[in-house]
Structure 1
């Protein structure tokens, strides 16, 4: 499985105001954690992240400015309820060859509403 390469910048300020400023600068705030490392707060280019998350590949290679490269998978993605843009991402560090078990939610569309009736027309 190939990796998608993204660049990220370490963030040294935290909180709502800092996150909003990052979004104004076209960076999506996020945090990288896992494998006993201390969490790293980063800003990832918003458009590149959005395009990477639209692909079926979930393995990302984050090139962190001044801190090396981390192989990660997106664990949690928070989106704006109306605009659907990405507000925050949690990344989980993985290692090559490591087995990872993930839960993928399946949402069915077009089912019968609760308490509704199904109308079938039989053609003879």
Structure 2
């Protein structure tokens, strides 16, 4: 996907607010051996890119077509959002080169229905993404993990992830990725039968003296 990006001649909060009012998102682009570029991109185009990332379930590499600079291959490194409205406020693009080894965070996608789930257990994914080191051409959109064999009580660790000849996981091998929890059993206490209330004996009225 190619995205047109303009150069920001000025920076600062007021400039950023003005850009957002115009339907543009302030950005920066940086990379190894590259000067930091202060940019803006169209907010609608950026939303389309993020939608494609969600649909494909992975990192989307783009070509930034920057005014006066040319084309740069990049991916979204960080997104800053308004904590209340969740609207995008700022985006960091990481510029990459074909022969460069980079660190990038990839989503972990669990595939299949575990044996333990079919027997009443609950699949709990503890690690949803993982950082890897690899050359640009060897980076997959995500890390796919088959969990069909997991029984209740089983756990997959980072060391159990699919072996990758051309990338390296940077996370500790002992970090848990997913586990099958035992089903919760709710035991209701048997209700004791309510005892019949016995009315207190009524006292006989004393005889009336005539």
Alignment TM-score, normalising by the size of structure 2: 0.47
- Give the corresponding residue for 1:14: 11
Q: Deviations over 1:9-58 (max 9, x none)?
A: 00001100000011111110000111122111000001111110222342
Q: Deviations over 1:84-107 (max 9, x none)?
A: 221100111101254433235728
Unmatched runs of 5 consecutive residues or more in structure 1: 108-117
- Give the corresponding residue for 1:110: none
- Aligned-partner Cα distance in 1 for 2:79–2:91: 5
Residue 65 (structure 2) pairs with residue 68 (structure 1): no
- Offset of residue 120 of structure 1: 2.8
Q: Determine which of 23, 27, 38 is the counterpart of 1:26.
A: 23
Residue 60 (structure 2) pairs with residue 58 (structure 1): yes
Residue 59 (structure 2) pairs with residue 35 (structure 1): no
- Give the corresponding residue for 1:102: 104
Structure number with greater Rg is 2
Q: Name the Cα RMSD after superposition.
A: 2.2
Unmatched runs of 5 consecutive residues or more in structure 2: 54-58, 107-126, 130-182, 188-210
- Give the corresponding residue for 2:82: 80
Aligned length: 109
- Offset of residue 80 of structure 1: 1.4
Alignment TM-score, normalising by the size of structure 1: 0.77
**Measured at CA, do residues 35 and 42 of structure 1 come closer, stay the same or move farther in structure 2, by a change above 3 Å?**
same
**Measured at CA, do residues 97 and 36 of structure 1 come closer, stay the same or move farther in structure 2, by a change above 3 Å?**
closer
Deviates more, 1:98-107 or 1:60-69: 98-107
